[in-house]
Structure 1
Amino acid sequence: MVVTGILGSYVAGLVLDWRWLAVTCSVPPTAMLLFMCFMPETPRFLLSRGKRREAEEALHFLRGPEAPVEWECAQIEGTTREQLSDLKDPGIYKPLLVGVLMMLFQQLTGINAIMFYAETIFEDAHFKKSDVASVIVAAFQVTFTALAALVMDRAGRKVLLILSGVAMAASTAVFGVYFRLCGPNPSNSSDFNPPLVSDGPQTDLSWLALTSMGVFITGFALGWGPTPWLVMSEIFPTPVRGLASSVCVLTNWSAAFVVTKTFQDLTVRDPCAGTFWLFSAFCALNIVFTIFCVPETKGKTLEEIQARFKGTA
C-alpha cells in the first residue's frame, strides 16, 4: 500500500502544480485522522493499564460480538511486559540486533538518493517529458513489490534478500562507472560544485543509467524493500515486540534522514561516482550480513526462530 500511495502521488504530480499536489496529498492523512477517532485503544495497552473491561470491548469491536475475548485477554495478560529489561537473553538481544541492522542496511543501499535523482537521470536519457521519470520508477516499485509478496513464501526471505543485494550492488557499481565516464573533470577549485552529469558525447551511455535504474529498483522492490519489515514482525518475542519494533522503525527513518541529508555533500566531494560505489559496498555488505546473520523465517514458528537465536535449535 505504501508504494501504491507513492505511485498515486507521482501520477497526480503530472497534472497538478505543487500547491494542489500538496493539498491532494493531505486528504488521505486527514481521512485517517478522522477515522482513528472511532478506533478503540489496543487491547494490549488497556490490559497493561488494568482496564480489562475496556480491553474486552475493544476485542469485541475488532473480532466481532461472538469472539472468545476472555480467553484472548488471558493470553495477552501473560505477555504484557513490554520492556527490554533482560538483554542478556539471546532470544531478545539477537533478534533486536538483527532487526536494527536490517533497517540500517536498507537505507544504506542508497534507495532515497537513487529516487531523488531519478528525474535527472531520465532527463539525461533524453526523455521528452522528464516528469514521467518518477512515475516509471514508482511503477517499477509497485510491480515488483507485488511480485515479491507472491513469491516470498515460496522462495524464502534469505534468498530474496541475497538476490536483491546482488542486483543492487551490481547496479550501483555500474551507476558509479556511468557517472565517472559522464561526469565533468573536477578543477582545482576548492568550491567546485559539478552537475550530476555533463552534456556531450558521453550521453550515448544514457542507456547504461536507465538499465542500472531498472535493475536497482527491481532488486530493492523484490528484497530489501519489503522483506526487512516482514522479518521484523516474525523474529521478536511477543513481550518485547512493540518496543523492539519501535526501535527498528526509529533506526530506519533516522538512517533515511542521514543518507538523504549527506548525499549532496558526498557528491560534491566526489562527483557521484564514489558515492554510488560506496552504496555498492554497503549492498555487498548486506549480502554477507544476510548469509551469516539473518535467520530464514519461512514456514517457522516463533518458538523455532527463538531456538535458533538461543542456539538450541
Structure 2
Amino acid sequence: MEYDEETRPLLVNDEEISEDRLEQDSYLNKVKNGKLYMATFAAVLGPLSFGFVLGYSSPAIPELTRIQDPKLQLSTDEASWFGSVVTIGAALGGLLGGWIVGKVGRKLSLMFCAIPFIFGFTSIIAAQNHWMLYVGRVLTGLASGVTSLVVPLYISEMAHERVRGTIGSCVQLMVVTGIMGAYIGGLFLDWRWLAVASSIPPTLMLVFMCFMPETPRFLLSQGKRREAVEALRFLRGPDAPIEWECARIEEACKNEEQSLSLSDLKDPGVYKPLGVGIMMMVFQQFTGINAIMFYAETIFEQAHFKSSDVATVIVAATQVVFTAVAAFVMDRAGRKALLILSGVTMCVSEAVFGVYFKLTVMKHDNSTLLSAVTDVPQTPQTDLAWLAVGSMGLFITGFALGWGPTPWLIMSEIFPTRARGLGSALCVLTNWTCAFIITKTFQDLMDLITSAGTFWMFSALCALNVIFTAVFVPETKGKTLEEIQAHFKGT
C-alpha cells in the first residue's frame, strides 16, 4: 500500500497504537467479568435507592395534600417544597461526596451514604409534622447527591474499556428502576409504607458493599499496591495477567500530580473536561426531566388522563426498558450518537406535548398544578389523551437512550485522577442546583407562560443540547481513561 508524505510520519505512532491494542485485547480476552458484575450490582443499589427518592414524591404528594391530619397535610406550596427540597440535599451531597471520596475512598463513601438514606426514610415513616417530612427528604437527597457522584466513579475505576459503557449505564438504569418501583408501590401502599419499602435498597447496599473491594486505581493512587493487586485479581478473575493492568494504572498515577492547585485550571486536561461535564449536567436538567418525573401524576391529571397513576407507571416502565437498551448498545453505538438521537427525540416529543396542552387546556388558567382542576371544560378532548401519553412516552424513550445515562457515564470518564473528586463534585452540584431550579419553578413557569409554553421552552433547550453535543462532546467509546485524558490535552 502506498502512503503519501503527509501520512508517513504518523506510521510509527500508528504501529505503536496497534501494538498496544493487540496487547490490550490479549489481556482482556483472559478477563472474567463475573465478580465485576457482582461488585457493580452491590454499588448500583445506591442509584436504586436514589430512584426511590425521586419517584417517592409523585404518589406521595397527592395523598399528603388530601390527608385529614392538619399537621401533615400539605398545601400547594408545601407540596412543591416537598418535591423539590430533595434537590437541595442532593446538591450538598455532591459537595460532600467530592470531599469524602478522595479522603476515605469510593467503597467507604458508598457505605457511609447508606446511613442518611436509612435515617431519611425513617424520619418520613415516623413523621408527625411537616418538618419531619422535610428533614427526611433533605437527608435522602443528601445521600442521593453522594451516590450520584461516587457510584459512577466506583464503576468506571473498576471496569475495563470493553464493558465500561454498559455497566456504567446501569447507574441510570437502576435510578429509573427505583422510580418505577416507587410508582408501582404507590398503587398499593400508603405514603408511610412506601417509605418503609424505599428503605430496603440502601440497607442491602450497606450489607453487600462490606464484601466488595476498593477500586484498584484509588488504591494505587494511595500507594497501596498489594491491596490494588488483590482487588484486580478479584475483579478480573484468576486467569488474567493482572500485573499488566496494574503497571498501566501505576504509570498513569505516577504521571499525575495528586494534589490539585489553582494553576491546574489553566491545564486543558482539567478545564476542558470540567466545562464539558458541567454543561452536560446543565443540559440534562434543562430537558425538564426531573420536573416531569416529580410531578408525572399531576401532569397527567392536568392533561385530563383518567388513570393518571397507571399512566405514570407506564411512563416509568418505558424509561426502564429504553435505559436497558441504552446500556446494551452504549459500547457499540457510542456515547455521542446516542446523545444526538436522544436530544432530537426529546425536542420533537416536548414540542408535541406543548401542542397537546395548547389544544386541550386553553381554558385552564394554570393557577394550581397540584390541586384539583376546577375550570377545565366538563367534556375534555379525551380523544387526544393518546397524544399526551404518546409524547410523554417518546420523551422518556429519548431521555433514557442518551441524556439519562450518558452524562453520568462521561463525567466518570473524562477527569484526570487529581481532578476527579473536585470535577465530579462540581458536576453533581451543577446538576442538582439546576434540578432544584427546574422543580421549584416548574409551577411558576406553568403559570407564567402556560403549560404549552413551558414544554416548548424545554423543546428549544433540547435543540441546543444537540448542537452542544455535536461540537464539544468527545467520543469515549472503547478508550482507556488515559486515552480520554490525552484527548483533552491534545496529545
TM (norm. structure 1) is 0.84
1:25 equivalent to 2:198? Answer yes
Q: 1:163 aligns with which of 333, 337, 341?
A: 341
User: Contact 2:305–2:382 at 8 Å: present in 1 too?
Assistant: no
Structure 1 residue identity aligned to 2:324: A
1:193 equivalent to 2:367? Answer yes
Deviation at 1:75, TM superposition (A): 4.8
Percentage identity across paired residues of the two chains: 68
Structure 1: gaps spanning 5 or more residues: none
User: Contact 2:216–2:231 at 8 Å: present in 1 too?
Assistant: no
Structure 1 residue identity aligned to 2:452: A
User: Contact 2:277–2:407 at 8 Å: present in 1 too?
Assistant: yes
- In the alignment, the residues of structure 1 paired with residue 479 and residue 218 of structure 2 have an alpha-carbon distance, to the nearest angstrom, of 28
Deviation at 1:308, TM superposition (A): 3.6
1:238 equivalent to 2:412? Answer no
1:84-123 map, 5 Å: 85=262, 86-123=264-301
Pick closer, same or farther for the CA change 1:223–1:74 going to 2, 3 Å: closer
CA RMSD of aligned residues (A): 3.1
User: Contact 2:298–2:369 at 8 Å: present in 1 too?
Assistant: no
State the SS of the aligned residue for 2:266: coil
1:35-46 map, 5 Å: 35-36=208-209
State the SS of the aligned residue for 1:206: helix
Q: 1:225 aligns with which of 381, 394, 404?
A: 404
- In the alignment, the residues of structure 2 paired with residue 47 and residue 310 of structure 1 have an alpha-carbon distance, to the nearest angstrom, of 23
User: Contact 2:184–2:313 at 8 Å: present in 1 too?
Assistant: yes
User: Contact 1:125–1:203 at 8 Å: present in 2 too?
Assistant: no
State the SS of the aligned residue for 1:271: helix
Aligned position for 2:489: 310
Structure 2: gaps spanning 5 or more residues: 1-173
Aligned position for 1:296: 475
- In the alignment, the residues of structure 2 paired with residue 266 and residue 211 of structure 1 have an alpha-carbon distance, to the nearest angstrom, of 23
- In the alignment, the residues of structure 1 paired with residue 397 and residue 295 of structure 2 have an alpha-carbon distance, to the nearest angstrom, of 17
1:205-220 map, 5 Å: 205-220=384-399
C-alpha distance after superposition, 1:189-215 (max 9, x if no partner): xxx715587333433322221111011
State the SS of the aligned residue for 1:270: helix
1:283 equivalent to 2:456? Answer no
1:47-62 map, 5 Å: 52=224, 56-57=226-227, 60=230
1:266 equivalent to 2:445? Answer yes
- In the alignment, the residues of structure 2 paired with residue 213 and residue 233 of structure 1 have an alpha-carbon distance, to the nearest angstrom, of 29
- In the alignment, the residues of structure 2 paired with residue 113 and residue 194 of structure 1 have an alpha-carbon distance, to the nearest angstrom, of 15
Structure 2 residue identity aligned to 1:142: V
Q: 1:83 aligns with which of 256, 260, 274?
A: 260
More off after superposition, 193-202 vs 280-289: 193-202
C-alpha distance after superposition, 1:82-140 (max 9, x if no partner): 52541111111001100111011100000012223322344467665432222211111
Pick closer, same or farther for the CA change 1:224–1:87 going to 2, 3 Å: same
Structure 1 residue identity aligned to 2:270: I
User: Contact 1:186–1:194 at 8 Å: present in 2 too?
Assistant: no
Equivalences, count = 305
Structure 2 residue identity aligned to 1:275: T
Pick closer, same or farther for the CA change 1:254–1:124 going to 2, 3 Å: closer
More off after superposition, 89-98 vs 33-42: 33-42
- In the alignment, the residues of structure 2 paired with residue 159 and residue 58 of structure 1 have an alpha-carbon distance, to the nearest angstrom, of 35
- In the alignment, the residues of structure 1 paired with residue 448 and residue 306 of structure 2 have an alpha-carbon distance, to the nearest angstrom, of 31
- In the alignment, the residues of structure 2 paired with residue 98 and residue 31 of structure 1 have an alpha-carbon distance, to the nearest angstrom, of 34
- In the alignment, the residues of structure 2 paired with residue 42 and residue 300 of structure 1 have an alpha-carbon distance, to the nearest angstrom, of 19
Aligned position for 1:7: 180
- In the alignment, the residues of structure 1 paired with residue 482 and residue 218 of structure 2 have an alpha-carbon distance, to the nearest angstrom, of 24
Aligned position for 2:308: 130
Aligned position for 2:322: 144
TM (norm. structure 2) is 0.55
Pick closer, same or farther for the CA change 1:73–1:155 going to 2, 3 Å: closer
> Which of 1 and 2 has higher RCO (CA within 8 Å, sep 6+)?
1
More off after superposition, 80-89 vs 227-236: 80-89
Q: 1:204 aligns with which of 373, 379, 383?
A: 383
Deviation at 1:148, TM superposition (A): 0.7
User: Contact 2:253–2:417 at 8 Å: present in 1 too?
Assistant: no
Pick closer, same or farther for the CA change 1:207–1:2 going to 2, 3 Å: same
- In the alignment, the residues of structure 2 paired with residue 44 and residue 90 of structure 1 have an alpha-carbon distance, to the nearest angstrom, of 22
